[in-house]
C-alpha cells in the first residue's frame, strides 16, 4: 500500500495503542477509518501495550500484511498503561506531525486533511483538536457532542478548571510534546497532564469547531471514569497541577471539590449529566 498525501501537506504519523481488553471489531473500525482518509498518514505507529487477545493479534497481523510496512508495530512486554505506551510510541514516530487515534474510535474521512491544513496555515499552533461525537454501538446513535473553546487563550484559561480540549482526536507537533516532557503514566489522566505541561512550556493550542471524530462510549468506559478510585486519581492530578504551578491553591480546592463529587455520583446520574452537559 502506498500512502496518499498528494495535496502539498506535511508528512505525518498516526499514533495508536492497543491492549488486551480492546475488541478486534472495534480496532478494525478504527484503523479502517484511518486508511479511508482523504489524506492518508505516511505511517501508523501501533503500540501493543503488553500481550493482546489472539483474535486481536490476528487482526493486527492482517493489517500489517495488507499495508506492507506502512504499519509500524512497537511491542511492550507487559501492560504498562496508556501513558507509557504513548510515550514509547512518540519516540518511534518518524515525522514531526503526529495524529492521535484511539483503537476503538472512528475518524471522519476529512479529519486529517483539515487538521494538517490548519497546522500548515497556523505554524504557531502546536496542537489542534476538534469536536468529538460520543456514540453507542454505531455512529448513527450519537449521545452528545464534546465541544470546547476554539482559541488558544480560551483553552489555556478553561483547562485549569476542566478538560476542555479533546485528546484522542488531536494532532500535534512531536517536538512540542517532547519538549514538555512527553506523556507520563498517570492512571487515565495522562492526556490532561500532558496538555497542562505543554501550556506551561509555551505551546499553543486550538480546536476546529467541527465533529471530525466519533468517540465510542460504553458502560465500561463510564465505570472506569467514576468511583472512589477515580476520585483519588483526580485529587492526585490536582496535586500535581499545584506542584508544577499550573493552578493556585484556590483553584486546587475548587477543582478537588467538584471533581471528587462528580466521580462518586451514581453511574446513571453521571451518564445523564455527561449527556446533558456534553462532557
Q: pLDDT tens digit string along 155-186?
A: 999 999 999 999 999 999 999 999 999 999 98
Q: Identify whether the C-beta of residue 204 lies closer than 8 Å to the C-beta of residue 176.
A: no
pLDDT value at residue 262? 78
| Cβ-based neighbour number of residue 85 at 10 Å | 26
Question: If you ran DSSP here, which 8-state letter would residue 279 be given?
Answer: -
Please check whether residues 273 and 161 belong to one and the same domain: no
Please check the confidence at residue 279 and state whether its pLDDT lies above 70.
Answer: no
252-273 mean pLDDT: 78
Considering the domain boundaries, does residue 5 fall inside one? no
Domain C-terminal end among 198, 217, 236: 217
Using DSSP's 3-state secondary structure scheme, residue 257 falls into helix
When the pLDDT of each residue in the chain is averaged and rounded to a whole number, the result is 90
H-type alpha helices, 8-110: 24-35, 54-67, 82-91
Buried residues in 265-276 as b, exposed as e (16+ CB within 10 A):
eeeeebbeebee
The range of the structural domain enclosing residue 150 comes to 12-217
212-231 mean pLDDT: 76
Considering the domain boundaries, does residue 137 fall inside one? yes
Please check whether residues 239 and 175 belong to one and the same domain: no
Considering the domain boundaries, does residue 1 fall inside one? no
Q: pLDDT tens digit string along 263-276?
A: 777 666 666 666 65
Please check whether residues 67 and 160 belong to one and the same domain: yes
101-113 mean pLDDT: 97
| Cβ-based neighbour number of residue 198 at 10 Å | 22
Q: What percent of the chain has pLDDT over 70?
A: 89
Please check whether residues 120 and 222 belong to one and the same domain: no
Domain C-terminal end among 217, 240, 263: 217
- More reliable by pLDDT, 229 or 1: 229
Considering the domain boundaries, does residue 16 fall inside one? yes
Question: If you ran DSSP here, which 8-state letter would residue 246 be given?
Answer: S
pLDDT value at residue 264? 75
pLDDT value at residue 278? 57
pLDDT value at residue 3? 44
Please check whether residues 42 and 143 belong to one and the same domain: yes
Q: Which of 66, 58, 57 is nearest to 18 (CA)?
A: 57
Domain C-terminal end among 168, 199, 217: 217
Full-prediction pTM beyond 0.95? no
The total domain count for the chain is: 2
pLDDT value at residue 251? 94
Using DSSP's 3-state secondary structure scheme, residue 131 falls into strand
Please check whether residues 197 and 227 belong to one and the same domain: no
Please check the confidence at residue 218 and state whether its pLDDT lies above 80.
Answer: no
Which cell numbers in the block locate residue 64?
A: 500489517
Considering the domain boundaries, does residue 179 fall inside one? yes
Amino acid at each position: 500500500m502506498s500512502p496518499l498525501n498528494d495535496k502539498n501537506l506535511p508528512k505525518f504519523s498516526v499514533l495508536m495503542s492497543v491492549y488486551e481488553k480492546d475488541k478486534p471489531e472495534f480496532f478494525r473500525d478504527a484503523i479502517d477509518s484511518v486508511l479511508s482518509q482523504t489524506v492518508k498518514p505516511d505511517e501508523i505507529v501501533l503500540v501493543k501495550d503488553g500481550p493482546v487477545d489472539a483474535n486481536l493479534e490476528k487482526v493486527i497481523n492482517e493489517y500489517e500484511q495488507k499495508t506492507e510496512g506502512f504499519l509500524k508495530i512497537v511491542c511492550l512486554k507487559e501492560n504498562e498503561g496508556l501513558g507509557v505506551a504513548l510515550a514509547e510510541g512518540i519516540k518511534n514516530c518518524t515525522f514531526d506531525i503526529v495524529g492521535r487515534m484511539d483503537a476503538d474510535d472512528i475518524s471522519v474521512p476529512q479529519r486529517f486533511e483539515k487538521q494538517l491544513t490548519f497546522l500548515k496555515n497556523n505554524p504557531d499552533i502546536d496542537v489542534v483538536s476538534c469536536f468529538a461525537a460520543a456514540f453507542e454501538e454505531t455512529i448513527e446513535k450519537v449521545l452528545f457532542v464534546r465541544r470546547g473553546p476554539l482559541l488558544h487563550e480560551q483553552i489555556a484559561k478553561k483547562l485549569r478548571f476542566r478538560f476542555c480540549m479533546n485528546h484522542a482526536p488531536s494532532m500535534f507537533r512531536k517536538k512540542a510534546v517532547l519538549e514538555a516532557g512527553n506523556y507520563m503514566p498517570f492512571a487515565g489522566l495522562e492526556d490532561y497532564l500532558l496538555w497542562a505541561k505543554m501550556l506551561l512550556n509555551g505551546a499553543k493550542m486550538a480546536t476546529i469547531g467541527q465533529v471530525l471524530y466519533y468517540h465510542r462510549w460504553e458502560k465500561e468506559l463510564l465505570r472506569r471514569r467514576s468511583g472512589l478510585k477515580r476520585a483519588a486519581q483526580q485529587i492526585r492530578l490536582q496535586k500535581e497541577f499545584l506542584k508544577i504551578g499550573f493552578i493556585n491553591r484556590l483553584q486546587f480546592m475548587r477543582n478537588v471539590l467538584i471533581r471528587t463529587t462528580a466521580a462518586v455520583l451514581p453511574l446513571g446520574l453521571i451518564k445523564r449529566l455527561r449527556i446533558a452537559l456534553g462532557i
